[in-house]
Amino acid sequence: MKVFQKTAIAMFASSLVAGTAQASISNDEIRIGYLADMSGTYRDLAGPGGLEALQMAVEDFGGSVDGKKIVVFSADDLNKPDVGANTVRQWVDERNVDMVTGLVATSVVLAAAKVVEQSDKLALISGAASSSITNEFCSPNHIHWTYDTYAMANGTAKAMVQNGGKSWYMLTADYAFGHSLASDITKVVTEGGGKVLGEVRHPFPSSDFSSYVLQAQGSGAEVIALANAGADTVNALKTASQFGVTQSGQKLAGMVVFLNDIHAMGLDVTQGLQLTTGWYWDMNDETRAWAQRYYERVKRMPTMAQAGVYSATMHYLNAVKATGSDDTKTVRAKMAATPINDMFAKGGQIREDGRMVHDMYLVQVKTPAESKGEWDLYKIVSTIPGEQAYRPLAESQCKLVTGKVAQN
């Protein structure tokens, strides 16, 4: 009996120590790293503006969590996987960073995510698009926040197929993101009774799209899908406009288009273009109020990726505060157990595969006559409920999901 009592007491004391160790802030600081393309193709969709959104979240939290200072580091990944991975490794090893956010180019994200998983830290991905991030490349150490290629294809491509666009041709960025997007588009098109006639892949990034657009134009496809993003999409759309693609009866599908892209090209070039977005600054009073605060700092309206950085960071900091810990497993569990209800999403949920599921929006670019201001660019055509927008778990290849199914 005495042996049992001693053992029980020892076990109880051990659990208290473990609980105390877990419920604590390492280094007495919450350390966050912001990694993104700060100077290249994806600069405007996340870049310095995403860092500003992160700083807003830190300031809105008062700069600390229960007296523990929030420290932010930032770096330009140059859209190079080795640069991204090495930066994150240095942050973890030398600066004890707890969480990394931003994360735009899929190739960089996949490289950085390996480091995050190996070091048992957390990544909150806001800028990258590939749905593979929470499918075959999922891990318990990263969460995909703002949007993905599955949701974008499931919005724009499905709407265009339903409206009669049955034959498609892909103009694809030749790296992981473009390949994933093209695959997701193909699935939606074929399931809708359409057909993909062909595909041309271009280097990332590219400045001259003449030959690629000519190939797409020569295919005779009813819809030319731009499976790229950032400056690549802008350059492709401008080239298509110069070559009179839409005047010949073909339709352009910008599959991953951001607010800054439309602003850069102007409504004369982009009017009528349908696209899918995870967020828009002019949806309601709450989005407008936050966007105005952002505008006062940056002098530009935020993209969905930049708004996503703010939302993900706030949710993370709230979880740290609620648990009193920056331990990855503890914080992630709290984040997953807590619905996201903020200016970015209502009723958002983090699934076991790391996908933050929330409503998406099919929008149409306004005509110059419809627009009432410089950033009044979209009108919302329809809301796509989150459970319909993202890949069903039943189709998931994620080890966190398939393993659970196998155990059941």
The residues facing 297 across adjacent strands are none
Quote the percentage of the chain above a pLDDT of 90.
83
Q: What is the structure's pLDDT at 11? A: 37
Q: What is the structure's pLDDT at 248? A: 84
Tell whether 18 is covered by a domain.
no
Tell whether 20 is covered by a domain.
no
Q: What is the structure's pLDDT at 406? A: 40
Question: 242 and 123, same structural domain?
Answer: no
Handedness of CA 256, 261, 263, 265 (dihedral sign): negative
Question: 138 and 161, same structural domain?
Answer: no
Question: 272 and 242, same structural domain?
Answer: yes
Tell whether 291 is covered by a domain.
yes
Q: Name which residue leads in pLDDT, 400 or 270.
A: 400
Number of domains in the chain: 2
Residue 231 confidence (pLDDT) above 60:
yes
Question: 251 and 118, same structural domain?
Answer: no
Burial tier of 69 (Cβ tally within 10 Å: 0-12, 13-18, 19+): middle
- Per-residue confidence band for 273, with pLDDT thresholds at 50, 70 and 90: confident
Buried b (16+ CB within 10 A) or exposed e, 103-131: bbbbbbbbbbbbbbbeeebbbbbbbbbbb
Question: 376 and 238, same structural domain?
Answer: yes
pLDDT in tens, 113-141: 999 999 999 999 999 999 999 999 999 99
Q: Which of 77, 138, 86 lies closest to 110 in space, CA to CA?
A: 138
Highest mean pLDDT pick, 1-10, 251-260, 300-309: 300-309
Rounded (to 5) percent helix, strand, coil in the chain: 50, 20, 35
Looking up residue 167, the CATH number of its domain turns out to be: 3.40.50.2300
Are 100 and 35 in contact by the 8 Å Cβ rule? The answer is yes
Tell whether 9 is covered by a domain.
no
Report the chain's mean pLDDT, rounded to a whole number.
91
How many whole angstroms separate alpha carbon 242 and alpha carbon 299? 30
Question: 223 and 259, same structural domain?
Answer: yes
């505008």: which residue's tokens?
A: 295
Q: Name which residue leads in pLDDT, 22 or 239.
A: 239
Domain extent, residue 327, equals 29-147+284-354
Question: 364 and 270, same structural domain?
Answer: yes
Tell whether 330 is covered by a domain.
yes
Question: 221 and 190, same structural domain?
Answer: yes
Give whole-number Cα distances, 52 to 178, 296, 318, in Å: 27, 11, 19
pLDDT in tens, 161-212: 998 999 999 999 999 899 999 999 999 999 999 999 999 999 998 999 999 9
Per-residue tokens: 166: 């049955």
pTM of the model: 0.87
Q: How many CB atoms lie within 10 A of CB 285?
A: 8
Are 232 and 40 in contact by the 8 Å Cβ rule? The answer is no
pLDDT in tens, 99-113: 999 999 999 999 999
Q: What is the structure's pLDDT at 171? A: 96
Question: 318 and 174, same structural domain?
Answer: no
> Can you tell me the mean pLDDT for 240-250?
88
Question: 340 and 253, same structural domain?
Answer: no
Question: 126 and 257, same structural domain?
Answer: no
pLDDT in tens, 185-199: 999 999 999 999 999
Are 97 and 124 in contact by the 8 Å Cβ rule? The answer is no
Question: 334 and 211, same structural domain?
Answer: no
Burial tier of 184 (Cβ tally within 10 Å: 0-12, 13-18, 19+): buried
Residue 258 confidence (pLDDT) above 60:
yes
Element of type H or E holding 236: helix 231-242
Tell whether 304 is covered by a domain.
yes
Q: What is the structure's pLDDT at 404? A: 56
Tell whether 227 is covered by a domain.
yes
